[in-house]
Structure 1
């Protein structure tokens, strides 16, 4: 009589990617505070030590997810630019709209990227991805202003102003302080109005 058949070892073509995918699902459901490396392993169907082998610990996996998030943010900004007129001003507005697209479609990831976690370590892949997202916006500002804003303090301020406007709007929407209009076109029109809003006092010209 044959004895019990031992379980077959688990095989996965790309375990690292599978863990990242499961980690993103865990993050979307439970946020950073409820994030569990063990639960991620359960989602994939591997031992609890498997994620640690690839990412070290929970912080390591969250860093890898954040890197993925910054790269996706770049993709969202670029996607908007790709379907927008080539005029520099339109391209800059498109980066802001793409930023909002990312935040509203990836709310848990957005919170991970800009939450209270420690800044990326110098020389890390996460730092490179975060810098890449910032420089993507800076490039759009530079195309409009005709210079490299990273070499001119006043132009760098404009990059930061564009970033904070898009980011603040996204954060307020996700926090429930701003309701979006119904319909995709209406929403896009609202985004544009907010990104373009001028607070120059009446009767004063732009500097």
Structure 2
């Protein structure tokens, strides 16, 4: 058995880190609790203390992905200049970078599910979409974006980002072109400058 790469109490973190590595290299089909246990140097039953089944592991991975995106969006909201277009572009850029770096994780986060999502997964997803909705609402208040249902506009914005990301991931467009498209999206969504 390999030397244990974790300290007592950190097994869940070690398993998630290893699962993210496997997800990047082999995709979701390459994930196995037994293989993760072997890599962590623990018994094949040890991961079950944290992940009762494979779906629980997948939910935890998706939750971590939503948390990372939500943290990035929150950072844009809290630390970016007051220019709404700049905030929209920054959050769109962060989304694209995440999508390209962690394409399999993004797919896992938005894949149709056979079971109900875990409460943690729902909360992490809600944090991301709540923060992006705040950015949309602020842009509507300063007349950068048109008035209307902010949730509907947010859905349209995120779906557009998802489409651009899918094109970049699949090779239908280059990463540089995808970045240019993001700038175009922000311009197209914005009201004309007065």
* Offset, 1:180: 2.3
> Equivalences for 1:61-140 in 2 at 5 Å?
61-80=57-76, 84-118=80-114, 120-121=116-117, 124-140=119-135
Relative to 1, partners in 2 of residues 1:81 and 1:119: Cα closer, same or farther, differing over 3 Å? farther
Matching of residue 28 in structure 1 with residue 24 in structure 2: yes
Q: Is the 8 A contact 1:96 1:195 kept in 2?
A: no
CA offsets 1:143-185 (integer angstroms, 9 cap, x no match): 11129xxxx963321111111111111111111211123xxxx
* Offset, 1:80: 4.8
- Which residue pairs with 2:51 in the alignment? 55
Matches of 1:191 and 1:105, distance apart in 2: 18
Matching of residue 143 in structure 1 with residue 133 in structure 2: no
Where structure 1 has 5 or more consecutive residues not aligned to the other structure, the ranges are: 1-6, 200-204
Where structure 2 has 5 or more consecutive residues not aligned to the other structure, the ranges are: none
Matched length: 184
Q: Is the 8 A contact 1:120 1:126 kept in 2?
A: no
SS at match of 1:116: coil
TM-score between the two structures when normalised by the length of structure 2: 0.81
SS at match of 2:172: coil
* Offset, 1:23: 1.3
CA offsets 1:93-137 (integer angstroms, 9 cap, x no match): 221111112111222211211123347537x01100011111111
* Offset, 1:50: 0.9
* Offset, 1:82: 5.9
